[in-house]
């Protein structure tokens, strides 16, 4: 009777090796008609927006932009002005093994942001976009789940629950809201700068959609009419809820997702008291979600048959699970000395920091993260005529993060600054204290062996029978001992009731009875 193998297909998502790459982004920004010419630059920052990702064979093409935010002093008024403009870029990265149309996880940040005033109305800008690209593929493994047709066959089975991405959605939506400036803030004279950070707090797979809820943390810098308080910051929270269309069959499945601010427009309006405290907000959000499916399967990890010759082949398969996301906060203190030749510090007016992660390594306690903190500072000088001064600084940092759960598989790290606070240490130096929030996503994978084919080569050529005393080796199990000597597992258990199968110790004695079937008679035997 021929062997009958029953097979199952196991699907799994695999993350390939991440590739880090840099893209130089540069261009020229012209002031709008009627805008006041630039007397001097104060500080500049950049924000990365990845717009499109196209997966080709062994390569990924990306397009995006760096949104430059500049603060400067107007030539005529001598007041602080703000300007925001984007410079686009395209970039390609070689990713070995990537298939056309596949998925690529892209994350990144901006460093080395620079500006140069060309003629008072044109600013030349440049920045380095740090890009992390990681291919994501789906593999299918055909493995044996059951065998029929050979009496006495011993099989070792394993219960598995593989997971794979069943569906994805990637959409943009515009969040529109009207908010009022907090009462503790002075009325707005002129908006100078706005920025936002989105976070997802809840994801639910429903009938026909995946619902994502979260918040956008909106921050503002504006000019006031009060000469004693020329600049102020404000912070507000905007909730959002959005449904990404997906099939009804996904309801109740496990989901993961994220939201990113692609564009932000804030305009100030007068309230009923004639004060500029009402804000109209338009925020373009990029929403992404993955829906995971799982399946309970039983597969063969090994097989043998007493008195029979079997050729058993196996393959290593990789089981994947949804990303595990953890967060950690860390206080970072940095000295910010004035660049040479700048007026002494009277009072700090504005301090903003942007982290750029350059490397990380998994440790026993969590994660060691290295990066660069880019700071933009505005301050009032201590001179009689006062005036706002500004500068940028870049400081490398290295932080050891302690995480509640152990990291498994590939890791992706992002960072944001939740709070910034500056203290004047001396007329030429200040200290910045920054609360950094790190989001660490790990993609767990498990390697297991599974039988993919069995070939019956006929009866064993061994003859005779006898009692054998075997000694347990390091790493042995009752299964490995029974397989090594070609006896049934049941017979080993029957002859050794004193053994604890879950607690074998090296040197333990195991009694075995090996009984071989007589070999088939040959022609010479028949002649006798």
Strand duo 122-148 + 4-15: pairing: antiparallel
Q: How many other CB atoms sit within 10 Å of the CB of residue 369?
A: 23
pLDDT at 1: 54
Residue given tokens 């040197």 in the structure block: 507
Q: Which helix (H) or strand (E) holds 485?
A: helix 478-485
Q: 238-242, 462-466, 495-499: which has the highest mean pLDDT?
A: 238-242
pLDDT at 81: 94
For residues 232-258, average pLDDT:
90
pLDDT band for position 528 (50/70/90)? very low
Residue 11 has pLDDT above 50, yes or no: yes
Cα–Cα dist 92/110, whole Å: 17
Cα–Cα dist 486/483, whole Å: 5
Residue given tokens 């008291």 in the structure block: 273
pLDDT at 177: 95
CB 67 within 8 A of CB 86: yes
Which residue, 123, 113, 112, is CA-closest to 41?
A: 123
Cα–Cα dist 515/152, whole Å: 13
482 SS3 class: helix
CA 375 to chain centre: 25
Direct distance between the N- and C-terminal alpha carbons of the chain, in angstroms, rounded to an integer:
31
CB 42 within 8 A of CB 71: yes
pLDDT band for position 463 (50/70/90)? low
The pLDDT tens digits of the residues spanning 272-325 come to 999 999 999 999 999 999 999 888 999 999 999 988 889 999 999 988 888 888
CA–CA distances in Å: residue 455 to residues 39, 487, 489, 516: 83, 19, 21, 20
The pLDDT tens digits of the residues spanning 52-92 come to 899 999 999 999 999 999 999 998 888 999 999 999 999 99
CA gyration radius for the chain? 33
3-12, 29-38, 332-341, 416-425: lowest mean pLDDT where? Answer: 29-38
CB 194 within 8 A of CB 220: yes
Cα–Cα dist 111/44, whole Å: 11
Cα–Cα dist 20/12, whole Å: 25
Q: Domains of the chain: which residue ranges? A: 1-149, 163-294, 322-443, 461-527
pLDDT at 331: 94
Cα–Cα dist 236/179, whole Å: 8
- In the chain, what percentage of residues exceed pLDDT 90? 59
Cα–Cα dist 160/455, whole Å: 24
pLDDT at 286: 93
Q: Quick one: tokens of 292?
A: 């995971």
The pLDDT tens digits of the residues spanning 130-150 come to 999 988 888 899 999 999 989
pLDDT at 468: 84
Identify the sign of the CA torsion 175, 285, 125, 397: positive
Q: Kindly report whether the global pTM for this prediction surpasses the value 0.85.
A: no
pLDDT band for position 271 (50/70/90)? very high
- As a three-state string, the secondary structure of 50-84 is EEEEEEECCEEEEEEEEEEEEEEEECCCCCEEEEE
DSSP E strand boundaries for 444-489: 445-459, 465-471
Cα–Cα dist 8/146, whole Å: 9
For residues 88-107, average pLDDT:
90
Cα–Cα dist 11/120, whole Å: 60
Q: Quick one: tokens of 279?
A: 């804000």
The pLDDT tens digits of the residues spanning 339-364 come to 999 999 999 999 999 999 988 999 88
Task: Phi first, then psi: give them for residue 494, nearest 5 degrees.
Answer: -70, -40
- As a three-state string, the secondary structure of 334-380 is EEEECCCCCCCEEEEEEEEEEEEEEEEEECCCEEEEEEEEEEEEEEE
* Contacts with 380 (C-beta within 8 Å, 6 or more apart), sequence order: 230, 346, 347, 349, 386, 387, 388, 389
CB 277 within 8 A of CB 181: yes
CA count, 13 A, side-chain hemisphere, 344: 8
Q: How many other CB atoms sit within 10 Å of the CB of residue 141?
A: 19
For residues 156-176, average pLDDT:
91
Residue 521 has pLDDT above 80, yes or no: no
Residue 526 has pLDDT above 70, yes or no: no
CB 60 within 8 A of CB 93: yes
Mean pLDDT of the chain: 89
Q: How many other CB atoms sit within 10 Å of the CB of residue 402?
A: 10
pLDDT band for position 234 (50/70/90)? very high
Cα–Cα dist 442/523, whole Å: 66
For residues 191-205, average pLDDT:
93
Cα–Cα dist 23/110, whole Å: 10
For residues 476-491, average pLDDT:
89
Identify the sign of the CA torsion 365, 370, 376, 377: positive
- As a three-state string, the secondary structure of 158-175 is EEECCEEEEEEEEEEEEE
DSSP E strand boundaries for 190-230: 190-206, 209-223
CATH 3.30.1330.10 fits 461-527, yes or no: no
- As a three-state string, the secondary structure of 237-270 is EEEEEEEEECCHHHCCCEEEEEEEEEEEEEEEEE
């Amino acid at each position: 009777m021929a062997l009958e193998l029953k097979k199952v297909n196991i699907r799994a998502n695999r993350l390939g090796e991440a590739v880090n790459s840099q893209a130089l982004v540069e261009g020229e920004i012209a002031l709008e008609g009627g805008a006041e010419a630039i007397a001097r630059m104060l500080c500049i920052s950049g924000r990365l927006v990845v717009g499109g990702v196209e997966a080709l064979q062994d390569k990924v093409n990306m397009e995006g932009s760096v949104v430059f935010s500049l603060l400067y002093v107007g030539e005529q008024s001598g007041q602080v002005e703000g300007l925001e403009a984007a410079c686009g870029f395209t970039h390609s990265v070689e990713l070995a093994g990537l298939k056309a149309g596949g998925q690529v996880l892209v994350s990144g940040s901006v460093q080395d942001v620079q500006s140069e005033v060309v003629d008072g109305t044109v600013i030349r800008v440049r920045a380095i976009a740090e890009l992390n690209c990681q291919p994501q593929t789906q593999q299918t493994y055909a493995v044996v789940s059951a065998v029929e047709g050979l009496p006495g066959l011993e099989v070792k089975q394993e219960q598995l629950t593989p997971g794979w991405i069943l569906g994805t959605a990637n959409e943009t939506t515009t969040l529109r809201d009207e908010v009022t400036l907090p009462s503790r803030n002075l009325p707005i004279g002129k908006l100078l700068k706005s920025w936002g950070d989105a976070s997802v707090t809840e994801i639910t797979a429903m009938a026909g959609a995946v619902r994502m809820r979260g918040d956008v943390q909106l921050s503002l810098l504006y000019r006031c009419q009060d000469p004693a308080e020329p600049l102020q910051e404000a912070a507000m929270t905007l909730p959002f809820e959005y449904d990404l269309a997906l099939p009804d069959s996904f309801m109740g499945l496990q989901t993961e997702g994220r939201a990113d601010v692609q564009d932000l427009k804030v305009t100030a309006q007068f309230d009923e008291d004639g004060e500029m405290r009402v804000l109209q907000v338009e925020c373009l959000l990029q929403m992404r979600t993955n829906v995971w499916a799982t399946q309970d399967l039983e597969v063969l990890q090994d097989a043998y048959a007493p008195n029979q010759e079997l050729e058993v082949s196996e393959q290593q398969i990789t089981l994947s699970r949804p990303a595990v996301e953890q967060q950690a906060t860390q206080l970072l203190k940095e000295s910010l000395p004035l660049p040479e030749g700048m007026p002494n510090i009277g009072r700090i007016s504005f301090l903003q920091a942007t982290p750029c992660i350059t490397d990380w390594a998994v440790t026993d306690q969590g994660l060691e993260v290295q990066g660069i903190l880019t700071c933009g500072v505005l301050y009032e000088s201590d001179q009689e005529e006062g005036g706002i001064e500004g500068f940028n600084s870049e400081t490398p940092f290295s932080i050891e993060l302690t995480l509640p759960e152990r990291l498994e598989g590939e890791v992706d790290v992002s960072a944001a600054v939740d709070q910034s606070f500056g203290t004047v240490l001396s007329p030429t130096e200040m200290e910045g204290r920054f609360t950094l929030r790190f989001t660490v996503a790990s993609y767990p994978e498990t390697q297991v062996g599974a039988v993919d084919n069995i070939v019956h080569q006929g009866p064993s050529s061994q003859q005779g029978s006898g009692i054998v005393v075997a000694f347990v080796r390091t790493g042995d199990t009752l299964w490995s001992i029974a397989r090594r000597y070609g006896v049934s597992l049941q017979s080993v258990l029957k002859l050794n009731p004193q053994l604890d199968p879950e607690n074998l110790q090296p040197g333990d004695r195991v009694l075995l009875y090996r009984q071989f079937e007589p070999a088939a008679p040959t022609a010479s035997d028949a002649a006798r």
